[in-house]
Each structure stands twice: as structure tokens, then as C-alpha cells.
Homo-oligomer: A and B are copies of this chain.
Amino acid sequence: MASPTTVDVSPRDDGKPATIYDVAKAAGVSHQTVARYLRGYQGIRPATRERVVAALEELDYRPNLTARSLTTGRSHRIGALTHEIDKHGPSNIAQGAAAAARRAGYVLDIFTLDMGDPGSIRDTLDLLRQHDLAGILALTSTDEMSAAIEAARFTVPVYLGGEPDDTATEHSELTGVGFPALVDHLAELGHSSFLHVAGPATWPAARNRTQAYQEALAARGLHSAGIVAGDWTARSGHDAVAALGPHLDASAIVAANDQMALGAMLALRRQGLDVPRDISVTGVDDIPDAAYFAPPLTTLRIDFAAQGRDIVGALLAQIDGRQPERSVTPHSELVVRESTGRARADTPRP
């Protein structure tokens, strides 16, 4: 008879991975004993335990998560609903969320949503329901997405991510810290007339930023020369500013993200204006490239990865029925670079 710690059974006749039954047979115990060991149950006799451990080792046992979720009724997968995961914000939130989920033993399932095609949206939400997920996460929320999710009436917890919408919550950190600092910075440089290049109005994050901009100005008695809308892309920032042309009547442009700021700067340059000598430009996000724009961009850094973490944390709390920890929405931090400078005494255009 083999020594108790040696269990000589090949991985399995067919190539399939070993189950607890295989392990049980190899160890000469019942499958429940194996299950108990795996569950960390203490009352197993040392000799028995030893055999189980040896069998587990020998067969290279890995639990079958599918079978587990079938019985327990709870999976360890979180559905991440997103579109445009190629964008900086979304992809970084995804990165943070995926990492946080992993730490908690969860996996992120990516469901890309093709906004604009209602049929596709329905299909995707249907798909979400079939994959039994522990929870659902909207990495980036637009109004369409919120509405679609609302309509789907999921039975599992759903968490809409992205920057909090000020209309729904108290002022976010972004509002409370970021824009005021940004506006203060510009005001100190002598600027008093601003143009805001906003994000698409269907994004709560965009509305949030625009509102924060307005409030920060209002609180200081400053003047907004206008708000033009973009769609987050550099192209839209460029075109918005180019369209204004000579009617641009501001000494500083406050874009709602770095890409639009980049586009705006190019448009200004093409109009013969120098940044920051003739006009200052700021962004939001602090994408890695922003520090290397020409000129390097003054911007509000947003910690998207932290946002992703927080969202997952909140969702997991909801899943476990815990009280979600006070969400520590990441502070936004002003990063001053070379795209902002002292306002010109004279107006740039005669």
C-alpha cells in the first residue's frame, strides 16, 4: 500500500481537469470531506487531511467556478457596461475597476454597448441578464445608457459609474476643489474673460464639469464669454474654436478635457495666436500626453483608476449587502504647466 501522502492517480483519463470527486476517490474519502477541506473546515483528522492535500496536489485540482455559481446562485463576475472603451477616461476607469475586482476575487466582463442602435442595446442588456453576474457596472454613463439600464430592471445590483452628477448628489470633489483652483489660477494670472469648451451634454460628467466651471466663475464674479460644445475629441475642440474665429473674445479657454484643449490650441495657433502669450488654455483629465503637448498643458488631473476602484468597491458593498464605504471620490488636482500665462494687457486682437 502506498504511503498515505502519496496518491498515484494520473490527472484524469480524459484530459479534463480533476473534480472534487476525482480528488475524493484518489484520497479514499467522500467528496464532502474534500469540499470541507477546501472550505477551510477545521474538524478533519490530520491523517485524512493529509491524504486530501496530497490528492489535491497530485491531481492539480482547481475548483470549477461555473459549477459553484450554479449552486450558490452567485457568480464572481461583474458586468462592465461601456462604450468607447478606447477613450482615456473609460479605459482608465476600466483598468482601475478590473484591478479592484481582481483583488476581491471578481472578474470584469466587458459588454460593449453600441449606443445609437436601440436594437443592439436591448440585445446587450438581454445578454447581461443571461450571464448571471454578481452585479453590473456602468463604467461611463451617458443619459442613454442610464435610461436603458433603468428600463432593463435588473435583479442584481447596478452601479452607474463615472463622475457623480451634481444634480443627483452633493457637490463632488471635482466641483469643490478642482475648478475653483483652476479658475483661481487663471484669475491670478489676470484673466477675466473665459470661453468654455464643454463636453457632450448627454454625459453627466460633461454637465458636471460645465456646471463646476460656471459656479467657479460665478463665485468670483467673473465673466464667461461663452460656452461651446464639443464631443470630447481634439477635432471637436479644434473646430469649435476655429468656428469662432475672430469672434473669440476671451483671454483663456477652459476645455472640459485635454483632447479638446489640444484641438483648441491648434486652432488658435492656426489663427496666429500664441499659447500662452496671447491666450491661455486649460484642460481636464491630465492624460499622460498632456505634459508633452506644445505647449505642455495646464490641466486638472483626475484619477480615473481610483474612480474605477471606488465604483467596484461600492458595487461589491451593495452585492454583499454592506453599507458602501463613504466613497472617497478622488480629488482632482491642478497641474500647472506652460499653456497658461499672464493675460495680455492689451486685447490680442486690435
Q: Are B292 and A262 in contact (CB under 8 A)?
A: yes
Q: Are A15 and B132 in contact (CB under 8 A)?
A: no
The one of B94, B235, B265 that contacts A294, using a Cβ cutoff of 8 Å: B265
**Within 8 Å of chain B (Cβ to Cβ): is A215?**
no
**Within 8 Å of chain B (Cβ to Cβ): is A155?**
yes
A287 nearest in chain B by CB position? B289
**Within 8 Å of chain B (Cβ to Cβ): is A172?**
no
With A70-B67, A107-B109 known to touch, is A294 a contact of B294 (CB < 8 Å)?
A: yes
Complex: how many Å from CA A17 to CA B131? Answer: 12
- How many A residues touch B, CB cutoff 8 Å? 60
- Interface-centre pick from A94, A237, A259 (highest chain B CB count, 10 A): A94
A294 to chain B, nearest CB (A): 4
List CB contacts (< 8 Å) of A161-210 with chain B: none
**Within 8 Å of chain B (Cβ to Cβ): is A75?**
yes
Tell me how many chains of this kind the complex includes: 2
Q: Are A112 and B98 in contact (CB under 8 A)?
A: yes
A232 nearest in chain B by CB position? B288
Q: Are A289 and B259 in contact (CB under 8 A)?
A: yes
Q: Are A62 and B234 in contact (CB under 8 A)?
A: no
Q: Are B131 and A238 in contact (CB under 8 A)?
A: no
List CB contacts (< 8 Å) of A42-67 with chain B: 62-67
Contact with B along A1-39 (1 / 0, CB 8 A): 000000000000001110000000000000000000000
A79 nearest in chain B by CB position? B107
Complex: how many Å from CA A291 to CA B234? Answer: 8
Q: Are A266 and B296 in contact (CB under 8 A)?
A: yes
**Within 8 Å of chain B (Cβ to Cβ): is A269?**
yes
* Interface-lining segment among A122-130, A142-150, A244-252, A322-330: A122-130
**Within 8 Å of chain B (Cβ to Cβ): is A344?**
no
A152 to chain B, nearest CB (A): 12
Complex: how many Å from CA A291 to CA B238? Answer: 10
**Within 8 Å of chain B (Cβ to Cβ): is A115?**
no
**Within 8 Å of chain B (Cβ to Cβ): is A228?**
no
With A66-B69, A263-B292, A292-B262 known to touch, is A110 a contact of B107 (CB < 8 Å)?
A: yes
The one of B65, B130, B237 that contacts A63, using a Cβ cutoff of 8 Å: B130
Among all A-B residue pairs, the 8 with the closest Cβ atoms: A234-B292, A294-B294, A91-B91, A98-B112, A108-B110, A86-B92, A263-B292, A86-B95
